[in-house]
Amino acid sequence: MSKKTANIASKEILNTREAAALLKVTTQTIKNYIYSGKLKAIKTPGGHHRIRRVDLQSLGFVIEEEKDARNLSMDELWQAYNNLMQSFVNTVETFIRALDTRDIVSAGHSNRVAEIACQMGKKMQFSEKELQELRLAALLHDVGKIGISEVILGKPGRLTDQEFFLVKKHSEIGEKIVAGVDQLNSVASTIRHHHERYDGKGYPDELAGSDIELNSRIIAVADAYDFLRSDLSFRKAHSINDSLTEIKNAAGTQFDPDVVDVFVNGVKGQSMQIH
């Protein structure tokens, strides 16, 4: 915005020439707007039109901020982005806590999975942006269960084959839910594939090895560990050592062995905080 235009934009009441300058149209165009009713105006005793600057907004005029995004430093842009994302993540966490209460696994499951997954991501040298995406995907990995009957999710006992078939649909439902949200569509594929197995015997697409994206492989380990450590209606929670043993025994079949190594070594070396 030029100095001259800025001076005009600082005025509350404008004449037709000044209004035309702000909108970058002719004075006659401004008068046409007034005569057609598109723009409100006050008529002076001398017959001249005066226009409130705020009324120009109805025609699409927006006053530029003194400091727009182009003038922000990279650090300021990154901080603004982080603040926005953190606010978004906090909203997601609140929603997920409510959703977790529908499942047989103890409340807080998704938050614990996200915490474990991010600790692994840090050990694997993820950037801040990569960690944010991993956290969002982990928080929302079970969001598709909103489409599964609460009777099945809260069933006290093992599921029938038909019930398990329905539960397995939650990863596909979850993908569809988040794919429709601009801020979340980047994690849609991760959510779809968090139940794939390293040996290709998982679901829904039977992907194997490195064809399964890394975030899905990380979440698979975090999800399984928290499941093992949770009290269920048909069994007590496994101990930490027994849970780690089960995870290690499934390396190369259910889980990516490299991800398992990061997790187990992190826990044993006490560089990861787990429950």
pTM score > 0.95 for this model? Answer: no
Above 80 in pLDDT, residue 271?
A: no
Q: How far is CA 114 from CA 117, 131, 220, in A?
A: 5, 10, 11
Lowest mean pLDDT among 63-77, 81-95, 139-153, 187-201: 63-77
Please give the pLDDT value at position 172.
96
63 or 210: which carries more pLDDT confidence? 210
11 or 76: which carries more pLDDT confidence? 11
- Structural domains of the chain sorted by starting position, each given as residue range(s) with its CATH number in brackets: 3-59 (1.10.1660.10), 71-268 (1.10.3210.10)
107 or 198: which carries more pLDDT confidence? 198
Above 80 in pLDDT, residue 165?
A: yes
Q: In the predicted model, what is the mean pLDDT of residues 21-41?
A: 87
Q: Between β-strands 13-15 and 42-43, what pairing exists: parallel, antiparallel or unpaired?
A: unpaired
Q: In the predicted model, what is the mean pLDDT of residues 234-244?
A: 91
Above 50 in pLDDT, residue 67?
A: no
Order of strands, edge to edge, in the sheet holding 42-43?
Answer: 13-15, 49-52, 42-43
Q: In the predicted model, what is the mean pLDDT of residues 110-114?
A: 93
For the chain, strand residue ranges (E) read 13-15, 42-43, 49-52
Above 90 in pLDDT, residue 98?
A: no
> 8 and 21 in contact (C-beta within 8 Å)?
yes
For the ranges 47-56, 102-111, 139-148, 186-195, the maximum mean pLDDT occurs at 186-195
pLDDT band at 104 (very low <50, low <70, confident <90, very high): low
Please give the pLDDT value at position 66.
40
Above 70 in pLDDT, residue 2?
A: no
Q: Chain-wide mean pLDDT for the chain? A: 86
User: What percent of the chain has a predicted confidence (pLDDT) above 90?
Assistant: 45
Above 80 in pLDDT, residue 27?
A: yes
Q: How many CA atoms lie within 13 A of 253 on its CB side?
A: 5
Please give the pLDDT value at position 61.
66
Q: Report helix, strand and coil shares of the chain as percent, to nearest 5.
A: 60, 5, 35
In three state form, how does the secondary structure of 67-91 look?
CCHHHCCHHHHHHHHHHHHHHHHHH
Which residues touch 132 (CB under 8 Å, ≥6 apart)? 85, 89
Please give the pLDDT value at position 70.
53
